[in-house]
């Protein structure tokens, strides 16, 4: 059912009077209805002071009333001609960032609106501030992820491959109450952990390797995301401990700094400074974090490029890493919620150095 | 490595002198390199008489030479300004159908080209004609699917749920040499088979139900796709046999009709006429088929809306169905290749009525 509170917040952020929203996640966020149309068009046209119109292929016909006018489309329909009946041609039309060229260019050619703007930010900045219902689900999702990490750790044994570990993760999430992955899990042994985008392969675990898990599940549509780095059957050496503890301090100092009003770029800088002062600046090669919710990566980065101030309800990852093939590849990641008075770290799995025997 | 033969064919189909290709499948098709950039920009700029340029985020940096100039992008870069150095501003720029508004609108605003057109068809119609290497892989992929169907049939027993069957399918595909699914499998019991887009749920199998499997795996990146409908522990009644045999005849008459020069809409009509004359026209609610290759749904439909003539190398599905909740939900689907002299059905699993005991 149309969430009128979220709709109001979108309009408050929107600088056009009408917008065609095509992102299935945004449509679910606003209406509670999931439709994944594949290659076909799906759009929720929102208009100031009027009932929203959902344009959806007749293949996805549904009976329930969700507080919008439904317009069913056939594969052979002239879409811009149909949209033109509902869009005010004398006004600009906002579209969202993912609207594909195959739909956007014909709308522009037919001139169904005065102008076209990417107004995704109106929806994205609304979604970036989670409401109470969402916060409750995000908390629960991360609690499941904490439990999942404890289970994944138990899968580790000499000779098992990264893929063999990864293949067991989905069932563990399901057993813990999640419905699926937030993203394909990263399992990285040894030097593979020094590649931040490593995908599980046939590398087999040996004593003396590190084990990195970057994993997340979905609970009632809301994503978790956490990374931990373990040591398999060996005590890390001095240099490795130094790297691990730098990453840990970067994580914890950045987290401690989070409260309403601080800038995302300054949170990033907190972590980056710790690692740079420790002499490993060039080995921390990515942004500190990303926003998360219905999708594992939502609008908003914790990076030098974002100077927005955080507000209560923001949820994002804090995930510093050092990728030094000769010493250690290591990342420690939590999700964090900005609260009225400060923050709440949604993950509770320990940051301590943990040797798996 | 850049496939110069495929590049030539794309240029022969292209009516602009330059095109920015952003579809990871098309980029793999042309260069042999898989990059899935997530939310980040990825583009292969092809230019008449010049080396193609691959724009890719530095996160996906790679060493191998693939016959293109690589330009690495940072998250903070002004993308249109970088593209402008390589795009001829006095010429039109083709873009592909999936290019999202967040990249297209800034390119238009900065005026990096004279005009912007959706020129996906140049790539899509090239990809629609499979070359020898692709045909060999598509054959092999469908042979694996035939074998998989025989295995899936064995999973059937009283009390098992659709989800429980579906969850075992991935490992079966992998054991048979496929690397994954072409799409999430459809497993539908009883009346659920009368919903062409049913997703596996907790429905449990009982004697007297039909069992529909619509399944496909990927073999060396190439997709299979086949549907069969079985009868669980009962001989179908007369009306059910009538429906099943109509669907079977629709499938087989459409397949028999396929040869170079016939129109896609006429293939669709062949099947549709059989079902309409049998009195079930309104219960065949979708197109007859779709093209397939690296993706399970590629450009090209076997439907009333497509009057293109088929040519050797086209591969598409033939999948008539009748969805009549009170009698039977049934679909029979094969992949078919257009050959120089006629056609080759890539699936070999029997169309006979099959009672599972």
* A99 in B contact zone (CB under 8 Å): yes
Task: Give the residue from B100, B122, B172, B199 with the most A CB atoms within 10 Å of its CB, the best one to mutate.
Answer: B100
Query: Is the pLDDT at A263 greater than 90, yes or no?
Result: yes
**Model pTM?**
0.78
The answer to whether residue A175 neighbours chain B at the CB level (below 8 Å) is no
Write out chain A residues lying below 8 Å of B98, CB-based: 100-102
The two three-digit tokens of residue B243, written as one number: 């429906």
| CA pair distance A80, A95, nearest whole angstrom | 14
Quote the mean pLDDT of chain A: 96
Question: What is the Cα–Cα distance from B41 to B102, expressed in whole angstroms?
Answer: 10
Q: Decide if B50 touches A, using CB distance below 8 A.
A: no
C-alpha distance across the termini of chain B, in Å: 51
Reported as a single tens digit per residue, the pLDDT across A222-231 is 999 999 999 9
* pLDDT bracket for residue B75 (50, 70, 90): confident
For B96, which of A39, A101, A303 is closest by C-beta distance? A101
Question: Percentage of chain B surpassing pLDDT 70?
Answer: 100
The two beta strands, B50-57 and B69-73, are parallel
ipTM over 0.85: no
CB contact under 8 A, B105 and A120: no
Give the pLDDT mean for B247-275.
98
CA atoms within a 13 Å half-sphere pointing along the CA-CB vector of B200: 22
- As given in the structure block, the two tokens for residue A63 are 């009976």
pLDDT at residue A304, as a whole number: 92
Region B26-45: what's the mean pLDDT? 95
Nearest CA in chain A to B170: A167
Provide the β-strand partners of residue B335: B317
Nearest to A104 among B104, B285, B286 (CB): B104
Contact A304 B76 (CB under 8 A): yes
For A243-263, what is the mean pLDDT? 98
Residue B75 sits at the chain A interface (C-beta within 8 Å)? yes
pLDDT digits (tens, 9 = 90+) for B305-332: 899 999 999 999 999 999 999 999 999 9
pLDDT at B152: 98
Determine contact, residues A125/A13, Cβ cutoff 8 Å. Answer: yes
Of A39, A120, A303, the CB nearest to B102: A120
* Planar angle of CA B62, B63, B68, nearest 5 degrees: 85
The mean per-residue pLDDT over the stretch B255-259 comes to 98
How many alpha carbons lie under 13 Å from residue A164 in its C-beta half-sphere? Answer: 12
Query: CA geometry: angle at B176 spanning B172 and B179, to 5°?
Result: 85
pLDDT digits (tens, 9 = 90+) for A72-129: 999 889 999 999 999 999 999 999 999 999 999 999 999 999 999 999 999 999 999 9
pLDDT at B197 over 90: no
Predicted pLDDT at A75: 83
Mean pLDDT of chain B: 96
- For B287, the closest chain A residue by CA position comes to A75
CB-CB under 8 Å, A39 with B297:
yes
**Between the CA of residue B45 and those of A67, A288, B54, B201, what are the distances in Å?**
44, 31, 6, 44
| Of residues A237, A209, A216, the one with CA closest to residue A329 | A209
A182-185 contacts: CB < 8 A, separation 24 or more? A182/A216, A182/A217, A182/A218, A182/A223, A182/A224, A182/A225, A182/A292, A182/A296, A183/A216, A183/A223, A183/A225, A183/A296, A185/A213, A185/A214, A185/A215, A185/A216
Q: Are B210 and B189 in contact (CB under 8 A)?
A: yes
Q: What is the mean pLDDT of residues A318-323?
A: 98
Average pLDDT rounded to a whole number, residues B258-266: 98
Provide the pLDDT for residue B95.
98
The verdict on a CB contact (< 8 Å) between A97 and B97 is no
Cβ of B102 within 8 Å of Cβ of A105? The answer is: no
Average pLDDT, stretch B242-251?
Answer: 98
- Is B286 part of the contact surface with chain A (CB cutoff 8 Å)? yes
Q: Give the torsion through C-alpha atoms of B338, B257, B309, B216, to 10 deg.
A: -50
* pLDDT of B85 higher than 90: yes
- In the predicted structure, residue A346 carries a pLDDT above the cut 90: yes
Q: Tell me the CA end-to-end span of chain A in Å, nearest whole number.
A: 51
User: With an 8 Å Cβ cutoff, are B102 and A98 in contact?
Assistant: yes
Residue-wise pLDDT for A30-45, tens only, equals 999 999 998 899 999 9
B59 with A97: Cβ contact below 8 A: no
Does the structure show a pLDDT above 90 at B76?
Answer: no
Q: Is the pLDDT of residue B215 over 90?
A: yes
DSSP state of A128: T
The answer to whether B97 contacts A95, with C-beta atoms less than 8 Å apart, is: no
Q: Is the pLDDT of residue A152 over 90?
A: yes
Average pLDDT of the residues in B39-48? 95
Residue A116 contacts B, CB cutoff 8 Å: yes
Among B201, B177, B156, residue whose Cα is nearest residue B356:
B156
Query: Binning pLDDT at 50, 70 and 90, where does residue A305 land?
Result: confident
Average pLDDT over residues B140-162: 97
Report how far residue A148's alpha carbon sits from residue B247's, in angstroms, rounded to the nearest whole number: 47
Which CA distances in Å does B334 have to A39, B125, B152, B288?
A: 21, 21, 16, 11
For A100, which of B75, B97, B301 is closest by C-beta distance?
B97
- Given a contact cutoff of 8 angstroms between Cβ atoms, the answer to whether B162 and B188 are in contact is yes
Give the Cβ contact number of residue B54 at 10 Å. Answer: 25
Whether B306 contacts B300, CB under 8 Å: yes
pLDDT grade, residue A197 (50/70/90)? confident
Q: Among residues B247, B176, B234, B166, which one has the least CA distance to residue B202?
A: B166
The pLDDT score that the predictor gives to residue A143 is: 98
Residue B213 bridge partners (DSSP): B187, B228
The mean per-residue pLDDT over the stretch A233-249 comes to 97
Instruction: Tell me how many helices (H) and strands (E) chain A has.
Output: 9, 20
In this complex, do A118 and B99 lie within 8 Å of one another by their Cβ atoms?
no
- Give me the mean pLDDT over the A59-81 stretch: 94
């Amino acid at each position: 059912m149309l969430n009128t509170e979220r709709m109001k917040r979108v309009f408050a952020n929107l600088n056009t009077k009408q917008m065609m929203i095509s992102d299935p996640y945004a449509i679910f966020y606003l209406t509670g209805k999931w439709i994944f149309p594949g290659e076909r068009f799906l759009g929720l046209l929102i208009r100031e002071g009027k009932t929203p119109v959902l344009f959806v292929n007749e293949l996805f016909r549904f009976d329930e009333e969700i507080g919008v006018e439904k317009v069913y489309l056939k594969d052979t329909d002239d879409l811009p001609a149909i949209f033109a009946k509902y869009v005010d041609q004398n006004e600009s039309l906002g579209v969202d960032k993912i609207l594909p060229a195959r739909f956007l260019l014909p709308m522009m050619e037919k001139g169904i609106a005065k102008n076209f703007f990417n107004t995704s930010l109106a929806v994205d900045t609304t979604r970036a501030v989670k409401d109470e219902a969402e916060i409750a689900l995000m908390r629960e999702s991360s609690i499941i992820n904490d439990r999942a990490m404890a289970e994944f750790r138990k899968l580790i044994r000499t000779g098992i491959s990264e893929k063999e570990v990864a293949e067991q993760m989905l069932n563990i999430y399901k057993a813990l109450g999640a419905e699926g992955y937030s993203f394909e899990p990263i399992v990285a042994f040894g030097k593979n952990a020094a590649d931040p985008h490593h995908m599980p392969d046939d590398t087999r675990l040996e004593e003396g390797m590190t084990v990195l898990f970057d994993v997340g599940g979905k609970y009632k549509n809301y994503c978790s995301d956490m990374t931990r780095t373990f040591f398999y059957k060996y005590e890390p050496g001095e240099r490795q401990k130094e790297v691990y503890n730098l990453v840990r301090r970067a994580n914890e100092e950045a987290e401690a700094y989070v409260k309403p009003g601080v800038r995302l770029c300054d949170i990033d800088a907190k972590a980056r400074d710790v690692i740079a002062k420790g002499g490993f600046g060039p080995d921390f090669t990515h942004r500190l974090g990303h926003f998360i919710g219905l999708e594992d990566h939502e609008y908003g980065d914790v990076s030098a490029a974002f100077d927005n101030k955080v507000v209560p309800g923001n949820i994002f990852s804090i995930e510093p890493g050092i990728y030094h093939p000769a010493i250690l590849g290591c990342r420690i990641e939590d999700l964090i919620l900005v609260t009225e008075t400060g923050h709440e770290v949604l993950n509770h799995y320990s940051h301590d150095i943990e040797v798996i025997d």
